[in-house]
Structure 1
Amino acid sequence: MTTAYTVVRGTRASQALAFAALVLVALAASLPLWGESSWMRDFVQIACYFIFAMMWNLLAGYGGMVSIGQQAFFGLGGYVMLALGNFAGVNPFLSVLLGALVAGLIAIPVSRIAFRLQGGYFAIGTWVIAEVFRLSVSNISAVGGGSGTTLTALRGIDKATRESTTYWMALACVVASIALVYLFLRSKQGLALLAIRDNEVAARSQGIAVDRMKLAVYAVAAFGAGLAGALYFVGNLRISPDAAFSVNWTAFAIFMVIIGGIGRIEGPLVGALIFWALNKLFSDYGSGYLIGLGLLAIVVTIYFKQGLWGYAQQRWGWTLFPTARRLVLTQAAASSPKPRPGAVPAAAAKPASATA
């Protein structure tokens, strides 16, 4: 018998769940043809929550860079989208992607300031940077100053077309975000990011370009946050500095990731659905609603330390997007070599004294 090792990433359960997800995406793509407009608005809201939480999870859960200032890029994406649509005459739906791109590019010089800080100082520093963005935009009268303004570039588009186009764009952004993050985490660069998260000094000693990888992840997370912000405000039709650069966005992202499971692709998805449902049902209760969110987060961190999806993964083996590698031992019968023509069998070749 010979022993062989096989690297396995997926399981039959993950393959079945992936097939179900494809069917669900195909069904969701047809929603504007038969669904209600309120359903599409709800999906766009969930999509924005999920994309923003996914980018925070990539930055903190996989990269170890805990930021509480990602709302800087969320608001920046929204304002760039509005400025291009209202003043430059660019199609607002195209401006969504351009706003995300600008947010990702601005993250590069911002990172030179943020990366001078470590640990808790990095988290507080990113919050300060977000406040600088908020105060700067509040003093720009062209975009409404502190009171904000309305997206007027969509006035010539009827409501049904606007809602269906926003919905399809949100669905495409969700699928693209999941696919890109999943493929990245399965690559060598994804392993390098996990090594940096676990021990930055050890990763650097193994030849990993730590600074380059952290900059790339920070820029990608900013791009995703800008995409979520631009998508949110193109559906909301109005933007203001307090709404766009509110620290609540990052607080809610942290809540969603912790509830669903940090360091897992499925975690932000589960957390976004739970947060949207709670927001839909209990947001009218004011401060009591926020207290309830805090208590729920405390309960989950105490009894489900790896989040709800992490608990389900450990107990039942559910993995929708498997990224870990597992070595599976397989045994097979060793094939004996065929005897050469004219060769004497081993038993016949023994001397008489050996067989006596």
Structure 2
Amino acid sequence: MTTLTQPVHSASALRVARGDRTSMIGGLGFALVVVVMAAWVPFHFSLGTLTNLVGLFSLIILGTTWNLLAGYGGLVSIGQQAFIGAGGYAVIKLADAAGLPIVLAVLLAGVVCGILAFPTSFLLFRLVGGYLAIGTWVVAEVFKLVTTQIDALGAGSGLSLMAFREDGTSRIARIGTVYWLALAIAVLVVLATYVLMRSRLGLGLTAIRDNPTAAGSLGVAVQRSRRIVYVAASAGAGLAGALIATSSLRVTPDSIYSVNYTAYMIFIVVIGGIGTIEGPILGAIVFYVLQQELAQHGTWYLVVLGAVAIAVVLVAPKGLWGLLSREGRLEVFPVGHRVTPPR
């Protein structure tokens, strides 16, 4: 009789690591892309293309922060447009009325949205599940209605950003400044999410997403962790809203508080891969390409987006990144631990 045996490794001989050689290569590739986008692209592409890329960076920010909420924190929000709008209005008031430099105004707009999200969370977190999702939408509508009642915010007609015109900034300098600022914020948001998910808080968020009751019984501060991630995600949405306003030079309640932004976020995360850092980046790129190629086709644009979303859900339930990464065996931003046998 033949006995089949497999090598047995002692517990002390096993290695525990977060990443491997492929993740190191992926990280270097990410850094190279960032350098190219910062040092080469602005000098070889048209101003229109740079403006469109600001939109792409905003989508990456929105997708990453919504994935932080739903993919890692288990909080499904369909009302993040509340903070996109608040960020858009805040940057204009900070730059025009307060006279702050545009870079500082954009960053402070994100801080303002984080401050607004803190008391809002005490109201929303009294709800759970689908009620929480609907509650976030109600909050967004309240933000919009309040904005239309304030004359200093332009009421229903909105506001225009005058800071660039008043200081004599040329169109080339304006677009270049906004482009580099958007790229820097997008990279920082991705890296901040990566660092967060490698921390104890990130581990707790993953446990909360899987089973809040079990996580709480193990000592995880469920409500505090959710509040932190909600405030952080809302600040990120505010940064994206500030970039959108700075790029378009104008905001109106109907556009900046549009629920379409939430639809874009959900689409990006679902097709890219929920619960991963790489997924929203890939999803934002796919959405950006589809948007640029199909936007002129009217309603067919929405039909194609819906068809793509359905196809990805059916063929690749873990998203396009789950398909490309071979079910998580390839990671550019490894946040979990792996146990591997010794070499």
Q: Which residue does 2:121 correspond to in 1?
A: 111
Contact 2:322 2:328 in 1 (8 A): no
Q: Deviations over 1:19-57 (max 9, x none)?
A: 122122112111333432223212211000110111000
Aligned ranges for residues 229-244 of structure 1 at < 5 Å? 229-244=241-256
Q: Residue 148 of structure 1 corresponds to which residue in structure 2?
A: 158
Select 2:110's aligned residue among 100, 110, 120: 100
- Where in structure 1 do 4 or more consecutive aligned residues deviate above 6 Å? none
| 1:278 equivalent in alignment to 2:287 | no
Q: Counterpart amino acid of 1:153?
A: A
Letter of the structure 1 residue corresponding to residue 81 of structure 2: Q
How far apart, in 2, do the equivalents of 1:194 and 1:175 lie? 23
1:169-184 mapped onto 2 (5 Å cutoff): 169-184=181-196
Q: Which residue in the other structure is 1:343 paired with?
A: none
2:52 pairs with 1:32:
no
How far the C-alpha of 1:178 sits from its partner, in A, is 1.2
Secondary structure in 2 matching 1:263: coil
Matched residue of 1:7: which SS? strand
One-letter amino acid matched to 1:127:
W
Change (3 A) 1:143 1:64: same
2:325 corresponding residue in structure 1: 313
Matching residue within 3, 17, 23 for 1:14: 23
Match in the other structure for 1:329: 341
* RMSD of aligned alpha carbons: 1.5
Q: 1:60 is aligned with what amino acid?
A: A
Which of 231, 248, 252 aligns to 2:260? It is 248
Report the Cα distance in structure 2 between the residues aligned to 1:276 and 1:181, rounded to whole angstroms.
22
Q: For 1:164-313, what aligned pairs fall within 5 Å after superposition?
A: 164-313=176-325
Distance 1:317 1:200 in 2: 27
Q: For the Cα contact (< 8 Å) 2:89–2:159, is it kept in 1?
A: no
Q: Measure the CA separation in 2 of the matches of 1:52 and 1:292.
A: 21
1:79 aligned residue: 89
How many residues are treated as equivalent by the alignment? 331
Instruction: Letter of the 1:170 partner, please give it.
Output: A
Distance in 1 separating the partners of 2:37 and 2:264? 25
CA distance in 2, matches of 1:53, 1:95: 22
| Gap change, CA 1:274 and 1:2, over 3 Å in 2 | closer
Give structure 2 stretches of 5+ with no counterpart: 1-7
TM-score (norm 1): 0.90
Aligned equivalents of 2:284 and 2:142: distance in 1? 28
Q: Which amino acid aligns with 1:64?
A: G
Counterpart secondary structure, 1:327: strand
CA distance in 2: counterparts of 1:196 and 1:326, whole angstroms: 21
> Secondary structure at the residue paired with 1:330?
coil
User: Aligned letter for 1:313?
Assistant: S
Give yes or no for contact 2:114–2:232 (8 Å, CA) kept in 1. Answer: yes
Instruction: Map Cα deviations across residues 193-252 of structure 1 (whole Å, 9 max, x no partner).
Output: 100111111111111111111110000000100001001110111110111111110111
- Could you report, residue by residue, the CA deviation over 1:118-147 in whole angstroms, capped at 9, with x for unpaired residues? 000000000000000011111222222212
CA distance in 1, matches of 2:199, 2:14: 20
Residue 28 of structure 1 aligns to a residue whose secondary structure is: helix
The aligned residue for residue 67 of structure 1 is 77
- Of the three residues 87, 98, 105, the one matched with 1:88 is 98
The CA distance in 1 between the partners of 2:78 and 2:286, in whole Å, is 21
The answer to whether the 8 A contact 2:148-2:155 is kept is yes
The equivalent residue for 1:159 is 171
By how many angstroms is 1:315 displaced? 5.8
What is the alpha-carbon distance in structure 2 between the residues aligned to residue 164 and residue 286 of structure 1? 30
Matched, 1:47 2:46: no
Q: Distance in 2 between matches of 1:104 and 1:276?
A: 27
Indicate the residue corresponding to 1:131 in structure 2: 141
In structure 2, how many angstroms separate the alpha carbons of the residues matched to 1:297 and 1:24?
A: 27
Q: CA deviation at 1:318?
A: 2.8
Stretch moving more, 118-127 or 155-164:
155-164
How far apart are 1:322 and its partner, in Å? 1.2
In our comparison, the structure showing a higher alpha carbon Rg is: 1
- Indicate the residue corresponding to 2:3 in structure 1: none
Single out whichever of 43-52 and 1-10 deviates more from structure 2. Answer: 1-10
